[in-house]
């Protein structure tokens, strides 16, 4: 009888191919100049693998030491940890195993709301009004508030974060996310009702939580000389940025100099223009030091576009390696967009202008004409919900303005001892209708339905310009784009996105 071949005789390369079918190759990620990289969807953490997949990888690693080593990158590339006693213990265990920690490339820090004033009375308040809130366990919240106090007073989070950042020797991407479990969500609803009645409440605050998390992460990255180069903060608070400037100012330039990618979305609503104005000088320091930036996104709540000039934030800095640039929720003159894009016309491959509203006297056709004629490397442009400021104000007149990200934030399971951590993050409350998704948009014509429309004959050198004017179904000039200077319709901007990058290779500079 023929002897059955063992799986162990397979080469490492073939085994990796098999693992790729279970879990994607940890060495492959979305390129920073692809449209999906700075999309709303990109701010969400990657979905945890299905339990069966995680179990398959775990079982594979149990076969032998060789398989354990081959499977480790697939299991430990991404680590997500919640700021809680169990989360910190789990992170401590991970970074104590250096042979596993060395594979971590992305670290997501899941930060809950902090219990503020009145936290010692949470049990009394709930017991006194338990008639309609039987689902809330008063002892659970009391225990959480006490755990939080102990962590902050002992500095346990600071110790573990520094240990982790030192152990993650291959770290590339750091992300701070706001997180909540279902019980906290119910408590917030209960407290809002109490607050409206004037009754005593327990404060659940994001600002001090964001300040503390940003400060401790920043200190850990600096003190451990972390090799990270990407930072994402899709739910940032302006006060957290000011806290770093005041408490550890030397950290700002050091961390900025490491960055190749920076994604910040500020979720505050009130006084955002004034607060961002106070940060203008800090942004000048950051962006002047961040000479290696390749991808940059700065965003604000969709319903409250800020009124600051672009250069109040970007200070005329030119990044020689910038490939993708995005802004969200801004009131601008067309000249501001044109000038910033023109500074990066030799490198920029992607431009996102989400929720940008032009002021009176400006027209989108002027911006589009410049992008089409001068941005020769531009592969994609996103104009999601662009409009004119006057029309935007008329639409929302008398409507209560709310921040993109609901106070309830994200949700998370407290069962953190199971790998990988199960969690989900909200999409900042931003409209995410399927047909308007940037993540899967076909406006990126490298992969959309138009990608294969043009075919070159075998005897035509690809280096020669060729005219496609007659094959285009789009207007020949910006004057024919239908821009009325008053409002922008959905079908218009989708056509504009394709018009900008669908230029004729022979006549685009004409």
Residue carrying structure tokens 């709310």: 402
Which whole number is the average pLDDT over 99-104?
A: 92
Task: Give dist(CA 313, CA 276) in Å, integer.
Answer: 8
Range list of β-strands (E), 300-420: 324-332, 350-358, 380-382, 387-388, 411-412
Q: Which of 167-171, 470-474, 506-510 has the lowest mean pLDDT?
A: 506-510
Q: What DSSP letter does each residue of 6-69 carry, written as one string?
A: PGGGS-HHHHHHHHHHHS--TT----TTSGGGGSGGGGSPPPPPPHHHHHHHHHHHTS-HHHHH
Does 406 or 497 have the greater pLDDT score?
497
pLDDT in the model for residue 443: 40
Which of 112-116, 257-261, 309-313 shows the lowest per-residue confidence on average (mean pLDDT)?
A: 112-116
Q: What is the pTM of this model?
A: 0.78
Q: How far apart are CA 200 and CA 88, in angstroms?
A: 32
Region 219-240: mean pLDDT is 92
CA gap 436, 176 in Å, rounded: 26
pLDDT band at 485 (very low <50, low <70, confident <90, very high): very high
The pLDDT value recorded for residue 309 is: 97
Q: Which long-range contacts (CB under 8 A, 24 or more apart) does 186-191 make?
A: 186/133, 186/135, 186/136, 187/136, 187/141, 188/113, 188/407, 188/408, 190/126, 190/129, 190/133, 190/136
Beta-carbon neighbour count of residue 331 at 10 Å?
Answer: 20
Task: Specify the pLDDT at position 504.
Answer: 63
Spatial distance between the Cα atoms of 360 and 345, rounded to a whole number of angstroms: 26
> What's residue 41's pLDDT?
44
d(CA 57, CA 443): 36
- Which range (264-273, 365-374, 452-461) has the least confidence? 452-461
CA-to-CA dists, residue 416 to 64, 94, 181, angstroms: 27, 13, 12
Q: Flag the least confident range among 26-35, 73-82, 298-307.
A: 26-35
Confidence category of residue 240, pLDDT binned at 50, 70, 90: confident
How far from chain centre, in Å, is Cα 474? 33
| Band (334; pLDDT cuts 50, 70, 90) | very high
> pLDDT > 90: what percent of the chain?
47
In whole angstroms, how far apart are CA 147 and each of 95, 115, 120, 141, 379? 22, 10, 12, 10, 50
Tell me which of 54-68, 361-375, 479-493 is least confident.
54-68
Q: What per-residue confidence (pLDDT) applies to 33?
A: 54
* Mean pLDDT along residues 440-445: 40
| Residue closest to 230 by CA, chosen among 207, 279, 264 | 264
Q: Which residue has the higher pLDDT, 222 or 437?
A: 222
User: Between these two residues, 264 and 195, which has the higher pLDDT value?
Assistant: 264
- Residue 358: the pLDDT is 98
Name the band, by pLDDT with cuts 50, 70 and 90, for residue 475: confident
Of 361, 298, 360, 293, give the one whose Cα is nearest residue 330: 298
Mean pLDDT of 307-336: 97
pLDDT at residue 426 in the model: 33
pLDDT of residue 170: 94
Least confident of 160-174, 202-216, 281-295: 202-216
321 vs 131, residue with greater confidence: 321
- What gap in Å lies between CA 57 and CA 18, rounded to an integer? 11
Strand 173-178 versus strand 230-236 pairing type: parallel
Please give the backbone phi and psi of residue 37, each rounded to the nearest 5 degrees, phi first: -65, -45
- Alpha helices in 224-309, H assignment, sequence order: 238-247, 249-258, 272-278, 280-289
pLDDT, tens digit (0-9, with 9 covering 90-100), for 390-415: 999 999 886 654 444 333 333 333 33
In the structure encoding, which two tokens stand for residue 68, read together? 């354990």
Task: Note the pLDDT tens digit of each residue in 256-284.
Answer: 999 999 999 998 767 899 999 999 999 99
Give residue 181's pLDDT: 79
Q: H helices then E strands: how many in the chain?
A: 19, 14
Mean pLDDT of 115-127: 63
- The predicted pLDDT at position 16 comes to 79
Work out the angle at residue 405's Cα, subtended by the Cα atoms of residues 333 and 257, and round it to the nearest 5 degrees.
Answer: 65
Burial of residue 174 (CB within 10 Å: 0-12, 13-18, 19+) is: buried
C-alpha pair distances (Å), 480 with each of 188, 477, 492, 495 = 51, 6, 11, 12
pLDDT at residue 42, rounded to an integer: 47
Averaged pLDDT score across all residues of the chain: 78
Q: Residue 104 pLDDT more than 50?
A: yes
Backbone angles phi, psi at 311, to 5 degrees: -75, -10
């Amino acid at each position: 009888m023929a002897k059955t071949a063992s799986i162990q005789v397979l080469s490492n390369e073939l085994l990796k191919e098999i693992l790729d079918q279970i879990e994607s190759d940890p060495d492959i990620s979305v390129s920073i100049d692809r449209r999906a990289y700075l999309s709303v969807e990109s701010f969400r953490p990657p979905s945890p693998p299905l339990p069966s997949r995680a179990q398959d990888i775990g079982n594979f690693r149990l076969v032998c030491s060789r398989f354990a080593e081959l499977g480790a990158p697939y299991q430990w590339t991404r680590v997500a940890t919640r700021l809680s006693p169990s989360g910190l213990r789990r992170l401590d265990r991970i970074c104590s195993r250096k042979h596993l920690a060395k594979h971590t490339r992305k670290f997501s820090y899941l930060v809950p709301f902090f219990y503020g004033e009145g936290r010692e009375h949470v049990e009394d308040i709930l017991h006194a009004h338990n008639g309609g809130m039987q689902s809330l366990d008063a002892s659970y919240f009391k225990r959480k508030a006490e755990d939080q106090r102990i962590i902050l007073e002992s500095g346990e989070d600071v110790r573990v974060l520094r240990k982790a950042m030192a152990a993650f020797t291959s770290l590339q991407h750091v992300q701070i996310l706001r997180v909540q479990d279902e019980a906290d969500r119910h408590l917030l609803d209960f407290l809002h009702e109490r607050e409206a009645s004037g009754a005593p409440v327990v404060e659940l605050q994001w600002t001090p939580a964001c300040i503390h998390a940003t400060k401790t992460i920043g200190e850990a990255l600096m003190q451990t000389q972390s090799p990270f180069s990407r930072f994402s903060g899709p739910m940032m608070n302006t006060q957290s940025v000011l806290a770093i400037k005041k408490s550890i100012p030397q950290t700002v330039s050091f961390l900025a100099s490491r960055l190749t990618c920076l994604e910040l979305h500020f979720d505050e609503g009130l006084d955002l223009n004034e607060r961002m104005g106070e940060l203008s000088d800090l942004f000048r320091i950051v962006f002047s030091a961040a000479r290696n930036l390749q991808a940059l996104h700065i965003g604000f709540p969709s319903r409250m576009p800020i009124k600051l000039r672009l250069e109040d934030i970007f200070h005329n800095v030119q990044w020689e390696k910038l490939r993708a640039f995005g802004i969200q929720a801004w009131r601008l003159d067309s000249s501001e967009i044109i000038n910033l894009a023109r500074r990066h016309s030799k490198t920029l491959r992607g431009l996102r202008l989400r929720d940008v509203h032009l002021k009176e006297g400006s027209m989108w056709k002027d911006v589009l004409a410049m992008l089409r004629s001068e941005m020769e490397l531009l592969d994609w442009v996103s104009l999601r919900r662009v409009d004119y400021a006057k029309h935007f104000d008329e639409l929302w007149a008398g409507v209560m303005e709310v921040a993109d990200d609901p106070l309830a934030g994200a949700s998370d399971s407290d069962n953190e001892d199971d790998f990988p951590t199960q969690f989900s993050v909200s999409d900042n409350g931003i409209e995410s209708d399927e047909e308007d998704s940037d993540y899967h948009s076909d406006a990126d014509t490298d992969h959309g339905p138009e990608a294969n429309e043009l075919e070159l004959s075998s005897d035509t050198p690809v280096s020669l310009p060729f005219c496609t004017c007659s094959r285009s179904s789009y207007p020949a000039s910006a004057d024919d784009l239908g821009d009325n200077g008053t409002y922008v319709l959905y079908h218009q901007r989708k056509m504009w996105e394709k018009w900008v990058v669908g230029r004729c290779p022979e006549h685009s500079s004409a």
